[in-house]
C-alpha cells in the first residue's frame, strides 16, 4: 500500500476539502504518465499484443485534456494492473506504473505509485551487478517534474519514501 492512512490535504482537490488545484492535479497526472511511459517498453517487450498499460497512459492523458471522465481513466488503470498480475519483474512493475498513473485522476497521490513502480521496473531490468539504475530513473523523473508541483512532489517523496520501498533515495 503506497497511500498513507491519513491523506495529505495538499494532494486532495479543493472540491474535496484539500488544497490541490485542478491545474496542479493535471500536472501530477501528466508527470505520472511520463514516468510510466518511460519504462513501458519493458512491458511491451514481454507482452507486445497487450495494449492495456499503453491504454492506461493514454487514458490519463485524455483525462488531463478533459476528454475522459475520472471513472474512465481509473478503469483503464485497473485493466493495466490486471495485465501486470500474471507477470514478474520489470514487465510487471512497468504495467503497474501505467495503472497507477491512470488512477491519478481518482486520487492524486497515486502519482508516486506510478513513479515508484517505474523505478522498480528500471531496477528489475538492470543487470544484477548494476546498482545505479533505480537512482538514475529517480533522478530522471525529478528532471521531468513541472516546476509548479516540484516542491510538493519532493516533499511527498520524503514523507512516503518508506511506504514506497525507499525508491526515492536518489
* pLDDT tens digits along 89-144: 999 999 999 999 999 999 999 999 999 999 999 999 999 878 799 999 999 999 99
Domain definitions of the chain by residue range: 10-160
Please state the three-class secondary structure of the chain as a single string. CCCCCCCCHHHCEHHHCCCECHHHHHHHHHHHHHHHHHHHHHHHCCCCCCCHHHHHHHHHHHHHCCCCCHHHHHHHHHHHHHHHCCCCHHHHHHHHHHHHHHHCCCCHHHHHHHHHHHHHHHHHHCCCCCCCHHHHHHHHHHHHCCHHHHHHHHHHHHHHCCCCCCCCCC
pTM of the model: 0.97
Amino acid at each position: 500500500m503506497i497511500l498513507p492512512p491519513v491523506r495529505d490535504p495538499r494532494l486532495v482537490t479543493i472540491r474535496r476539502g484539500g488544497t490541490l488545484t485542478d491545474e496542479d492535479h493535471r500536472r501530477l497526472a501528466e508527470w505520472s504518465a511520463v514516468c510510466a511511459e518511460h519504462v513501458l517498453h519493458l512491458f511491451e517487450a514481454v507482452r507486445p499484443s497487450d495494449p492495456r498499460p499503453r491504454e492506461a497512459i493514454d487514458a490519463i492523458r485524455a483525462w488531463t485534456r478533459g476528454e475522459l471522465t475520472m471513472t474512465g481513466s481509473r478503469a483503464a488503470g485497473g485493466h493495466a494492473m490486471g495485465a501486470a498480475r500474471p507477470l514478474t519483474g520489470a514487465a510487471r512493475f512497468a504495467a503497474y506504473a501505467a495503472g497507477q498513473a491512470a488512477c491519478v485522476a481518482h486520487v492524486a497521490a497515486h502519482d508516486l505509485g506510478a513513479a515508484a513502480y517505474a523505478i522498480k521496473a528500471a531496477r528489475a531490468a538492470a543487470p544484477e551487478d548494476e546498482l545505479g539504475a533505480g537512482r538514475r530513473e529517480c533522478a530522471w523523473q525529478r528532471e521531468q517534474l513541472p516546476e509548479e508541483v516540484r516542491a510538493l512532489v519532493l516533499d511527498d517523496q520524503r514523507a512516503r519514501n518508506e511506504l514506497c520501498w525507499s525508491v526515492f533515495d536518489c
